[in-house]
Structure 1
Amino acid sequence: MSLASTQFRLASIPLALMLAYGSSAMAQQTTTEAETKPKQAVPAPVKATTPAAPVAVQKVEISGAKGYDERRQDTASKIVVTQEDIVRYGDTNIGDVLKRLPGVTIGGVQGRGGAIRMRGLGAGYTQIMLNGEPSPPGFSLDSLSPDNIERIEVIRSATAELSTQSIAGAINIVLKKAIVTAQRELKLGGSEENGRYGGNVSLQLSDKIGKISYSISGNLLHGDFQRPSVSDEVFTNNKGVITLARQTKTESNGAFSSVGISPRVNWMLENGDILTSQSFLNANRFNSRNLSDTTTLIGERPLFLTENAKTVSDSTSLRTNLTWAHKLADSAKLDVRFGANYNKRESENNSNAQGVSQTLARSYNSASTDNGFTYGGKYTAPFVENHALVAGWDGGFSKRGEDNVRRDAIVGIGPITPYNTNENFDAKVNRVALFVQDEWNYSKALSIYAGLRWEGIDTTSKGNTYAEINNRSSVLSPILQTLYKIPGSKNDQIRFGLTRTYKAPDTGNLIPRRFLSTNNSATSPDNMGNPNLKPELAWGIDTGFEHYLSDGGILSVNFFLRRIDDFTRTSIVNDGRWVAMPTNDGLANTRGVEFDAKFPLRTLIDDAPAIDFRANLAFNSSTVNSVPGPNNRLDAQTPVSANFGMDYKLDDVPLTLGGNLSFQSAGPVRISVNQSSYGIPKRVVDVYALWKFDAKTNLRVALGNALHQDNVSSSTYTDATGSLVRTNKTPTNVAVRVNFEYKF
């Protein structure tokens, strides 16, 4: 190792200790199907000089390609988190796993899941994928058990093969696949939070019979919860006098249950073709009871002083995929896939609200289905030396139907009148895409990826309360990425990417249906869709520097920039009632820098304890041109996020200890001329202990959200008459989890 490299390495270690990183696995992968790829960046063409080499590499990929470091060698920028890191803290919620990953943050209350964000951007800018395909309508990540996941891929820059609906990036969740050796693993777990208990069971079965290999993953989860919260509403007039002050206390308790199974079968045919079947079935039940009591300290009392609401919802989701991989002449390959999905949700809400002069009894029943299919394929031609050429198609169809029945029964005389509805609608979405990409290994130091993807979406909806609407859009996305390995150094390399991405309007945001709030106000408005929404289009630049350590560690820094046209924000208007509606509103720019690191302490000290450090740190900022400053940032963007974690494997006893500190800043955001929001920073500490009785038996104990910090946020509406501020405070609690793991 050169003196310059050694100096850089030692100088970088103190910086890495200051960073905060939430995932120890940094392997990178550029495929959507590990068993049947080749990837966009096929290792074989890099080294191959004869047609036979790619065939050998394909065989290695089917069994896992353990010797290949995707993050280091692939041109496309991606981080892969392994199953070991996914289950490290015994999480039962995918959001708790994702919050520790580089550049990923979770909205909402700590420990309860929420919108998944990359680069600090809110929901919709981050593409969530399941086995390389966009997650189907109606699908919830909360229905997935971490035990059923093989790996999580964090994709920083778009590729033509995957959907370019990823302005911030994409997260691909890959379910467990079949393996070549028999495995049996049973996990039993229990949890406690705020005096309420839960349990979970998961079973993994894998084996091989002749040319058929299979795996079956099943899980069962149940938990109870009790979650109080307090909301304060204060109006200050234009003279600075408080004329309204109310406080609403809410007690929420309930239970949730989930059962899921994920079978997978690989069949190696006589001619070398591979058939793969992957399915996922999940059923969920959620019930809750919310009791709200409003006290008026100053000013007029609201229409309803108390509300007692009970909700029961059931959901079922099924997704199945069939993939055929066919080998062609000259090491070419054809992959064809077809999938179908079914989602059904039924919910029933019954509430009783007591007003000053009236009592309202309301029932609201809803039933919805999201069904559809997907299709796609790709032709891979690795026979051109130093090139990996891929061309393919991708598409899908989905149909959503929903029926809603609302009935009001009012006792007393007052301003409230019954509002009875019987609404139904359906929406159809057609999506089709064509793509071509090539990775060219120009030299040992430089590789270039170029791709082009065209994607079109056609949405049609009609209902008994609105006329038929149609929304059609298409985007042409050129993509360029490069990887340059600095000459004279085996450990340093530079990445650069130029991408065209977009965010299509969510189907629900296109439907002009109105959802009424109980106590309507500027900070608690009705909600309504906008059928005229256009997609947000973005040009993006990504660049980064990576320094690899000899012991497998890494220090890296990445920069990004996005220019977003037809930015969508939520506007609030008053047409007799306050109503919120999404609308396209001009130009937005966002930028940021991300640091991440991973290294063992023995990098510094040869005889140091077996301690591994993980860290990441991200700074994000943005401006919305149509909104006056200051703080005219993208709504819900996280300015600063950080993770710092470590694992300590004791030498004398079979015990591993670890912990992670997660930080997300918030602060003020100017959403529009009249709207603003505010949030306090969130700090979360998770710790775990893993005791290995033997090679087959483990006991894992974890504490989640050990700081149990209160979650506080507020929203403000200001006009010529004054300002209305609603502040929400939600206490959180420590979650204790114990898991027993046994392989047999």
Structure 2
Amino acid sequence: MTATRHLLVLTLLLGPLGIQAQTPPPPQPAASAPATAASAASAPARPADAPQTNALDRVQVTAAAETDDGLRRRQSIAMSIYGREELDRQGDIDVTDVLKRLPGVSMDGGAPRLRGLGGGYTQILINGEPAPPGFSLDSLAPADVERIEVVSGATAEYPGVAGTINVVLREPPRTQQREWRSNLNYRALQPGGSTAFQWGDRIGALSFVVPLSVSRSAHASDYEQVRLSRTPGGQVQSQAIRGRDEGRSTTAQIAPRLQWKASDWDTINLSAFWQHGQSRNASERSIVALLGTPWATARDEAASEGSSDVKRAAANWVHKQQDGGKVEVKGSWQDTTRDNTLHYDSYRADGRLLVTRETQTDFGEARGALGGRWTQPVADDHTVVAGWDVETRERDELRRVWDFGVERLDSATGIPFAARIGRAAVFVQDDWTISPQWGVQPGLRLEEVRTRSDDGSNTIDNRARVVAPTLHVNYKFDPKGRDQIRASVTRSFKMPDLSALVGRYVLNGNYERTETNTPIAADSAGNPQLQPELSTGFDLRFEHYPASGGVFSVGVFYRQIDDLIRRGVRLESGMAPDITNVPRWVSRPMNIGQASTRGLELEIKGRGEEWLPALFDKDSGVNLRAALNLYRSEVEQVDGPDNRLEAQPPWLSNMGFDWRIPDSGWTVGASLVLQPGYTTNQTDLQVARRSAVRTLDAFAAWKVDRFSQVRVGLTNLLARDNVVASAVEDLDGFSAGSSTRRNTLRAVNASWVVRF
């Protein structure tokens, strides 16, 4: 009876968890060899008065993999995690196609932005490390990625003003895993495609994964541009330009990772990354004078070839302590090289050659980094995390130009440029569980960045130090419930990049150096006196996680930015006499003052019957997702009403669904991204305008069996033209305007995934 009571208690305890305990049949007598089914069946029946011994079967608990929303719910900070389900949803061509559909993420020139803020406000990381210079996320296929982590706002470890996007590459599996993916697509010019193979396994204490991928892509776009300018003397010039850009690229990549569990307390991780790219681009344009003196160039064309290599090796040692603490030491080395050759010809209206030019650019950067992280539980309520990072970058660049076979030598061409960037940071934060309902995470980050450069004539030495405290608070209405509030007060910063600091003069390629350009086609130069932008932020968010899965989130944020960097344009004469002898309009960055931004963020995701029960039946198989983001910003030193931060839209919305059709193996879905057209007053006299964005993608996936799946995706079904305009009114008597309409193309892709 004692064993029976124990079995009853165990069944009552495991019942709510969905785990059943079963009473086993009476045990067989012990034998020298395992009994067969036949011998068990022929065994004599036990006498009725024989004593019985009740034994319990082994109870096996199998835990399902935690969902992305479950991981998000458990984070002590506001972080969204997107794993294989999101990455595989539409069989996308590259990672940027995935990012553009994520809540609160907008794309600008192929670069992702959080809260409409880019240009360094959004921190982009690859495996927790800064992305290499010139590295584009569209060179990564979703098959190469394990997950994408989106951190809203700044933390002591990740100091992004708007937030951080961390792309984590494939990790070693716990069991054998082999996967092959193939993609065929067409966007323009010619078909493109990719193939990727991944082999992962565990051998004793070693686990590894070797992802290998090769891809080829092609793109093309046609554009029309109208330019108008007026000098102080009243001379008016206007041109109409028609052009076409084409590009083809091939990328090969391998990113092996190895994990060795040396003991119960020590783990060593090794990883490598190598990506090689080849590209060929071509462009041509014709120029027709509408008003004023005809332009010297009536037609031009250019062709370029380039190659790039990104190599990276990293090591990481993790030591667990008996008291629950953990020490992590990491180091990495990275080398980035790019080589590009360009041939350019321009012609007069009568067909005679005006300029023939060869340009060769060599770029290299080596980066070394060391860091450490110590996690230590204190009592039962605190977990203190302290860390440090030291980074050094050496950058070399040489641009050589030959006009009619004669090399130009000036401060911008023909002379090597070298720069060294050093960064050191320490941070500390405390995860403090005040009660089952309250959690607090105070933190502090100290960082120093030093930039030194030399172009043969000018030496620049810039040093900046920042102190950035943070405080994150998490409140759960019920410790076992699904509702919580997150709040944070942060101090973060944005360091000026190297191109903004270096005073090197760069000509605008639309105008020859013997001609005076316009304010909307200005030359560019740096400012070695730039200081970091400092941001004070506040975030407040409510999150609800339904029992059926998904999330409902609504939040607000505010940022005040001091020492805002913005480019100003002015007419300069004699600033670069070795490059040009005519007055030229030059754009230089400068710290102009203060700005502020605020916003409302709304996100809904989950089953259709959870959010719209009147439209969807139970177990409909429909999953819905929608997000709406409202943004407002003002730059104090610029007159309104459109004195917003650079390229921040007034609002951004995306919505989508996917439907698992019952008993068919098919899943279909679509996503729509909406963004309005808007105007930005860059200064009191400079205006930029952007057209609305309407992007519709759709997909259909067929699960052939549990090992293979086929997907077909359609991208940019609406294919709206993109229009960008800029204007300058009465800048020292000059006025100018430009409007460019560029077509965008639909794309179709088909992918096949096989696991074996």
TM-score (norm 1): 0.87
CA distance in 1, matches of 2:507, 2:267: 52
Residue 437 (structure 1) aligned with residue 408 (structure 2): no
Residue equivalent to 1:598: 605
1:458 aligns with 2:450: yes
Aligned partner of 1:620 in structure 2 is 631
User: Out of 184, 187, 193, which is 1:193 matched to?
Assistant: 187
Distance 1:487 1:740, change over 3 A: closer
Map 1:723-734 onto structure 2 (within 5 A): 723-734=735-746
CA distance in 1, matches of 2:491, 2:330: 26
Name the structure 2 match of 1:653. 664
2:97 is paired with a residue whose SS is: helix
Mapped to 1, the partners of 2:479 and 2:213 lie a distance apart of 51
Instruction: Give the one of 680, 683, 690 matched to 2:694.
Output: 683
* Matching of residues 216-231 of structure 1 within 5 Å: 216-231=210-225
Residue 443 of structure 1 deviates from its aligned partner by 0.8
Per-residue deviation, 1:185? 0.8
Query: What's the counterpart of residue 88 of structure 2?
Result: 87
Report if aligned partners of 1:331, 1:383 keep a CA contact under 8 Å in 2: no
Relative contact order: is structure 1 or structure 2 higher (C-alpha 8 Å, sep ≥ 6)?
1
Distance in 2 (CA, whole Å) between partners of 1:86 and 1:173 is: 11
- Alignment partner, residue 428 of structure 1: 420
Change beyond 3 A, Cα 1:430–1:410: closer
For 1:324 and 1:214, the matched residues in 2 are separated by: 16
Deviates more, 1:328-337 or 1:733-742: 328-337
Change in Cα spacing, 1:668 to 1:238, as seen in structure 2 (3 Å) is: farther
* CA distance in 1 between partners of 2:367 and 2:405 (Å): 41
Alignment-mate amino acid for residue 79 of structure 2: K
Q: After superposition, what is the alpha-carbon deviation per residue over 1:357-382, rounded to whole angstroms, capped at 9, x for unaligned?
A: 87111111110101011111111112
**1:297, distance to aligned residue in structure 2 (A):** 1.5
Q: Give the aligned residue type for 1:217.
A: P
Offset, 1:175: 0.7
What corresponds to 2:556 in structure 1? 559
In the alignment, the residues of structure 2 paired with residue 176 and residue 317 of structure 1 have an alpha-carbon distance, to the nearest angstrom, of: 17
Aligned to 1:7: none
The residue number in structure 2 matching 1:526 is 523
**Deviation at 1:402?**
0.5
Q: Is residue 600–residue 612 contact of structure 1 (8 Å, CA) maintained in 2?
A: yes
Question: Relative to structure 1, is the Cα distance of residues 222 and 297 closer, same or farther in structure 2, using a 3 angstrom cutoff?
Answer: same
- Pick the aligned partner of 2:152 from 145, 156, 161: 156
Aligned to 1:32: none
Task: Give CA deviations for 1:278-325 in whole Å, capped at 9, x if unaligned.
Answer: 221101111111111101122222232211111111100011210000
Does structure 1 residue 629 correspond to structure 2 residue 640? yes
Q: Within the alignment, does 1:121 sit opposite 2:117 as a pair?
A: yes
Q: Which of 711, 724, 748 is the aligned partner of 1:736?
A: 748
- 2:417 & 2:91 partners in 1: Cα distance? 41
**Who is 1:232 aligned against?**
226
Residue 244 of structure 1 and its aligned partner are, at CA, apart by 3.2
Give the corresponding residue for 2:483: 492
CA distance in 1, matches of 2:187, 2:264: 55
Matched, 1:339 2:332: yes
Q: Could you tell me how far 1:136 is from its partner in structure 2?
A: 3.3
1:514 has 2:505 as partner: yes
Residue 133 of structure 2: aligned partner = 137
Tell me, what secondary structure is at the counterpart of 1:329?
coil
Matched to 2:323, the amino acid is D
Residue 208 of structure 1: how far off its partner (Å): 0.6
1:513-533 CA distances to partner (integer Å, 9 max, x unpaired)? 122123232211212121111
Q: Secondary structure at the match of 1:602?
A: helix
1:17 aligns with none
> d(CA) in 2 for partners of 1:321 and 1:192?
36
Retained in 2: the 8 A contact 1:380–1:388? yes
Change (3 A) 1:70 1:621: same
2:174 is the alignment partner of 1:180: yes
Give, in whole Å, the separation in 2 of the partners of 1:712 and 1:284.
30
TM-superposed deviation, 1:555: 1.0
Q: Work out whether 1:536 is the aligned partner of 2:543.
A: no
1:723: Cα distance to partner? Answer: 3.2
Q: In 2, Cα distance between the equivalents of 1:67 and 1:523?
A: 46
TM superposition shift of 1:628: 1.4
Alpha-carbon spacing, 1:100–1:68, altered in 2? closer, same or farther (3 Å): closer
* SS at structure 2 position matched to 1:160: coil
> How much has 1:651 moved relative to structure 2?
0.3
**Aligned partner of residue 430 in structure 1, secondary structure:** strand
- Number of equivalences: 670
Higher mean Cα deviation, 298-307 or 173-182? 298-307
SS at match of 1:382: strand
Q: 2:374 is matched with which residue?
A: 379
Q: CA deviation at 1:652?
A: 2.6
Instruction: After TM superposition, give the deviation of residue 195 of structure 1 in Å.
Output: 4.8
Query: Any idea what SS the aligned residue of 2:653 has?
Result: strand
SS in 2 for 1:586: strand
The answer as to whether partners of 2:593 and 2:637 remain within 8 angstroms in 1 is yes
Q: Give the Cα separation in 2 of the matches to 1:147 and 1:477.
A: 36
Which of residues 444, 458, 473 in structure 2 aligns to 1:482? 473
Give the aligned partner of residue 205 of structure 2.
211
Confirm or deny: 8 A CA contact 1:360 1:410 kept in the other structure. Answer: no
The structural deviation recorded for 1:489 is 8.6
Gapped regions of structure 2 (runs ≥ 5): 1-61, 512-516, 573-582
Residue aligning to 1:23: none
Question: Any residues of structure 2 matched to 1:226-265 within 5 Å, and which?
Answer: 226-235=220-229, 243-265=236-258
TM-score (norm 2): 0.85
SS of the counterpart of 1:260?
A: strand
CA distance in 1, matches of 2:750, 2:69: 35
Asked whether the 8 Å contact 2:154–2:490 carries over to 1, the reply is: yes
Deviation of 1:67 after TM superposition, in Å, equals 10
Q: Which residue is equivalent to 2:321?
A: 328
The 2-side partners of 1:522 and 1:531 are apart by 22
What is the DSSP-based 3-state SS (H/G/I as helix, E as strand, rest coil) of the residue aligned with 2:531? coil
Q: CA 1:68–1:201 in 2, change beyond 3 Å: closer, same or farther?
A: closer
Structure 2 counterpart of 1:582: 589
Question: Which consecutive aligned stretches of 4+ in structure 1 deviate over 6 angstroms post-superposition?
Answer: 63-68, 236-239, 417-420
Provide the C-alpha distance between the structure 2 equivalents of 1:638 and 1:306, rounded to a whole number of angstroms: 36
The structural deviation recorded for 1:329 is 3.3
Residue 77 (structure 2) aligns with = 76
Q: Is the 8 A contact 1:407 1:421 kept in 2?
A: no
1:408-419 maps to which residues of 2 (within 5 A)?
408-409=403-404
Letter in 2 for 1:664: Q
SS at match of 2:298: strand
Q: Percent identity?
A: 33
Q: Indicate conservation of the 8 Å contact 2:93/2:749, yes or no.
A: no
**Secondary structure in structure 1 of the residue aligned to 2:618:** coil
Question: How well do the aligned residues superpose, as a CA RMSD in angstroms?
Answer: 2.3
- Contact (CA 8 Å) 2:124, 2:166: kept in 1 or not? yes
> What is the deviation of 1:68?
9.3
Q: Deviations over 1:235-287 (max 9, x none)?
A: 36899x99333111112223111010110000000353000012211011111
Q: Distance in 1 between matches of 2:542 and 2:67?
A: 24
Distance 1:643 1:92 in 2: 19
Aligned to 2:25: none
Distance in 1 between the 2:495 and 2:348 partners? Answer: 42
In 2: Cα distance, 1:91 partner to 1:68 partner: 22
Please tell me whether the aligned partners of residues 621 and 639 of structure 1 are also in contact (alpha carbons under 8 angstroms). Answer: yes
Deviation larger for 324-333 or 728-737 = 324-333
1:306 corresponds to which of 263, 287, 299: 299
In 1, Cα distance between equivalents of 2:267 and 2:727: 57
- Counterpart amino acid of residue 329 in structure 2: V
Distance 1:611 1:217 in 2: 33
Gap runs ≥5 in structure 1: 1-59, 109-113, 412-416
1:487–1:418 distance in 2 versus 1, CA, 3 Å: closer
- Residues in 1 aligned to 2:405 and 2:167: alpha-carbon distance in whole angstroms: 48
User: Equivalents in 1 of 2:728, 2:359: separation in Å?
Assistant: 29
Secondary structure of the equivalent of 1:564? Answer: strand
Distance in 2 between the 1:556 and 1:104 partners? 15
C-alpha distance in 2, partners of 1:488/1:478? Answer: 28
